[in-house]
């Protein structure tokens, strides 16, 4: 296997490189330039002279190192908009394509080996190709695929979840975090008989129409920081949905209370990540989550913790275990499926029984369904994953490396006189450029994501994928070693020097 770092950094673009790609795929560039979830797009896409030259050099090197990915992209762009399967995966000048992953590494079609801190957007906790998970999946596949008939395996996984997360007395399964939050929100509406839901600015809860509000937009669309607007993140979402979505500022107890109180008569639920991963790694301030719990109690509104990222990652009990706040409903995904499609929502029997309660008036029940719900292959992967996570040493090992990586990153920023803040909780962390303290989503969104993208790209070119190469939060797995971390810090240092 070649390592990207084996390439000379002085390599100049091949004739098939940067210029051709830019011209040919100009429409993709503009399509994805609208927000920071795309490439080099923050601050209206304005680059300083310094970062501009870094970008060009990095792009040139990227093109010369990825000829096979370019060939795949040329075919992919004809059949997949942007050559990708999710807008998050778009990358300029073109994405690179993976072939396989093993342990802490990911390999691409050009044969590069990358230390992987993206980890399937946080879904991989034990490393790629963990033997126990593969064996469990193989054994399950031998019994057939999905039958859409309930299995005993499902009961085992539900019990295991309940033993790890006591608030999830009962669960229902689905396939993705999007489905889990969508169903949890409907359940909350059905249970309370109220129509509105509240979510924090900057919070991501999947791609359904109720979740894609006020993730990010240019500041002028977001409204007052303490009284944020409901701003759609996508075209195609009915304006009428926006009238059912209330936005509040995470970490601002007073403003949160005022906003929720005003809406409480119509408010079914508040949904929030306990740690906001979509804006990097924004931790709850002091007792914010406890206050939110109290507010929801007072206003008779259900509290939903979206633990799609934090579930099992922050510890077996998730972030609610860490912060000792018990929500009414919880959503889980990612780590739960051990790399396979599994998600769940759950809570007390009182609330979950709404799914089987027959009312007199029509519609009589709150509906949850899905052909692939509780897919046995995913359940097998999940059970194998949770069995391994029962061992405290797994978490303590990851914690050791996580401390070294994120602590090391902050030291490198300080030593290089780069103004940056590393925020981390357990095995998730983020590097905020041009920042000293991040307490709100607005502040987090207004840090220098463009610089983060530059740094990530520099590091990618040297064999370390610190989150998505256009700038993302990072995750660690049980497969990352001390030497992975040491190498990563060397690369991080060179990357910081390149973008300073």
Q: Which of residues 350-379 bind ligand PMP (CB under 6 A)?
A: none
Task: Tell whether the torsion through CA atoms of 119, 125, 127 and 131 is positive or negative.
Answer: negative
Please report whether residue 330 would count as binding ligand PMP according to CB under 6 A.
no
178 near ligand PMP, rule: CB under 6 A? yes
Residue at shortest CB range from ligand PMP: 177
Q: Give the whole-angstrom CA distance, residue 320 versus residue 323.
A: 5
Q: Of residues 119, 309, 381, 441, which one binds ligand PMP by CB under 6 A?
A: 309
3 state DSSP class of 388: helix
Which letter, b or e, does each residue of 279-302 get, where b requires 16 or more Cβ atoms within 10 Å of its Cβ? bbbbbbeeebbebbbebbeeeebb
Question: In the complex with ligand PMP, which residue's Cβ is closer, 203 or 408?
Answer: 203
CB of 284 to ligand PMP, least distance (A): 14
| For ligand PMP, the closer CB: 3 or 35 | 35
All residues at 6 or more sequence positions from 77 whose CB lies less than 8 Å from its CB, including other chains:
25, 28, 83, 94
Cβ at position 404, least distance to ligand PMP in Å: 25
Among 280, 201, 203, smallest CA distance to 442 is for 201
Q: Is 284 in the site for ligand PMP (CB under 6 A)?
A: no
The span from the CA of 488 to the CA of 465, in Å, is: 9
336 token code pair: 């739960």
Q: With respect to ligand PMP, which residue has the nearer C-beta, 282 or 496? A: 282
Stretch of residues binding ligand PMP (CB under 6 A), selected from 147-155, 172-180, 366-374, 418-426: 172-180
Question: Contact between 277 and ligand PMP (CB under 6 A)?
Answer: yes
Question: Per this entry, what is the length of the chain?
Answer: 500
Separation of alpha carbons 16 and 22, rounded Å: 11
Rounded Cα distance between 409 and 406, Å, is 5
For residue 24, give both structure tokens: 């040919």
Binding-site member from 177, 274, 317, 467 for ligand PMP (CB under 6 A)? 177
458: contact with ligand PMP by CB under 6 A: no
CA pair distance 263, 260, nearest whole angstrom: 5
Is position 339 an interface residue for ligand PMP (rule: CB under 6 A)? no
Q: Taking the complex as a whole, how short is the minimal distance between the CB of residue 483 and ligand PMP, in angstroms?
A: 29
Candidates 306-314, 402-410, 447-455, 456-464: pick the segment binding ligand PMP (CB under 6 A).
306-314
User: Three-class SS of residue 323?
Assistant: helix
- Label residue 494 exposed, middle or buried (CB < 10 Å: 0-12, 13-18, 19+): middle
Contact map string, positions 114 to 133, toward ligand PMP, x by CB under 6 A: -------x------------
- Residue 472 contacts ligand PMP per CB under 6 A: no
Cβ atoms of residues 467 and 280 within 8 Å: no
Q: What are the tokens at 497? A: 């020097």
Q: Which residues share a beta bridge with 390?
A: none
Q: Which is nearer to ligand PMP, 337 or 495 (CB)?
A: 337
Answer yes or no whether residue 204 interacts with ligand PMP by CB under 6 A. Answer: yes
Cβ distance 305 to 317 under 8 Å? no
Judged by CB under 6 A, does residue 449 bind ligand PMP? no
Q: Which stretch binds ligand PMP (CB under 6 A): 9-17, 62-70, 132-140, 200-208?
A: 200-208
Q: Quick one: which of 92, 110, 263, 306 contacts ligand PMP (CB under 6 A)?
A: 306
Q: CB 277 → ligand PMP: shortest distance, Å?
A: 5
- Rounded CA-CA distance 411/424 in Å is 14
Q: In this complex, which beta carbon is closest to ligand PMP, that of residue 19 or of residue 283? A: 283
Q: How many residues bind ligand PMP (CB under 6 A)?
A: 14
Q: How far is the CB of 189 from ligand PMP (least distance, A)?
A: 18
CB nearer to ligand PMP: pick between 206 and 249: 206
> What is the smallest separation between the CB atom of 309 and ligand PMP, expressed in angstroms?
4
Minimum distance from residue 465 beta carbon to ligand PMP (Å): 17
Considering only the stretches 21-29, 176-184, 386-394, 417-425, report the one whose residues sit in contact with ligand PMP under the rule CB under 6 A.
176-184
Q: Is 410 left (phi over 0), alpha (psi -120 to 50) or beta?
A: alpha
Ranges of H-type helices in 33-151? 49-65, 67-79, 119-122, 131-141
Q: Residue numbers of the site for ligand PMP (CB under 6 A)?
A: 121, 176-178, 181, 204-206, 273, 277, 306, 308-309, 333
């Amino acid at each position: 296997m070649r390592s990207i770092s084996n390439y000379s950094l002085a390599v100049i673009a091949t004739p098939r490189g940067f210029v051709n790609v830019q011209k040919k795929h100009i429409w993709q560039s503009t399509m994805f330039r609208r927000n920071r979830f795309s490439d080099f797009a923050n601050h209206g896409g304005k680059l300083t002279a310094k970062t501009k030259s870094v970008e060009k050099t990095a792009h040139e090197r990227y093109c010369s190192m990825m000829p096979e990915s370019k060939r795949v992209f040329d075919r992919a762009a004809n059949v997949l908009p942007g050559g990708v399967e999710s807008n998050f995966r778009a990358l300029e000048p073109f994405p690179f394509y993976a072939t396989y992953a093993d342990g802490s590494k990911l390999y691409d079609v050009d044969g590069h080996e990358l230390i992987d801190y993206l980890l399937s957007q946080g879904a991989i906790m034990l490393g790629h190709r963990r033997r126990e998970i593969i064996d469990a999946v193989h054994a399950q596949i031998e019994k057939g695929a999905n039958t859409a008939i309930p299995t005993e395996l499902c009961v085992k996984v539900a019990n295991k979840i309940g033993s790890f997360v006591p608030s999830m007395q009962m669960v229902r399964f689905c396939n993705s975090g999007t489905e889990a939050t969508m169903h949890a929100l409907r359940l909350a509406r059905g249970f309370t008989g109220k129509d509105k839901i509240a979510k924090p600015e900057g919070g991501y809860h999947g791609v359904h129409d109720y979740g894609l509000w006020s993730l990010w937009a240019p500041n002028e669309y977001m409204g007052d920081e303490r009284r944020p607007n409901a701003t759609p993140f996508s075209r195609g979402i009915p304006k009428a949905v926006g009238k059912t979505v209330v936005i509040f500022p995470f970490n601002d107890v007073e403003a949160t209370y005022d906003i929720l109180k005003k809406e409480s008569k119509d408010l079914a639920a508040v949904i929030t990540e306990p740690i906001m991963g979509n804006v990097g790694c924004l931790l709850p301030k002091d007792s914010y989550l406890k206050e939110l719990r109290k507010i929801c109690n007072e206003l008779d509104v259900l509290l939903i913790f979206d633990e799609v990222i934090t579930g099992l990652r922050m510890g077996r009990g998730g972030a609610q275990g860490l912060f000792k706040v018990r929500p009414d409903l919880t959503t889980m995904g990612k780590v739960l499926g051990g790399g396979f499609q599994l998600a769940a929502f759950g809570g007390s029997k009182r609330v979950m029984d709404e799914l089987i309660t027959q009312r007199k008036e029509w519609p009589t029940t709150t509906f949850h369904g899905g052909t692939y719900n509780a897919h046995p292959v995913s359940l097998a992967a999940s059970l194998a994953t949770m069995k391994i996570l029962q061992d405290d040493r797994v978490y303590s090992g990851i914690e050791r490396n996580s401390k070294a990586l994120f602590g090391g990153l902050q030291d490198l920023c300080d030593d290089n006189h780069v103004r940056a803040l590393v925020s981390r909780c357990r095995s998730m962390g983020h590097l905020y450029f041009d920042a000293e303290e991040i307490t709100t989503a607005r502040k987090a969104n207004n840090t220098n994501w463009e610089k983060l993208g530059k740094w990530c790209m520099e590091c990618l070119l040297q064999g370390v994928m610190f989150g998505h190469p256009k700038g993302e939060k990072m995750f660690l797995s049980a497969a990352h070693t001390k030497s992975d971390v040491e190498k990563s810090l060397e690369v991080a240092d060179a990357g910081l020097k390149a973008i300073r």
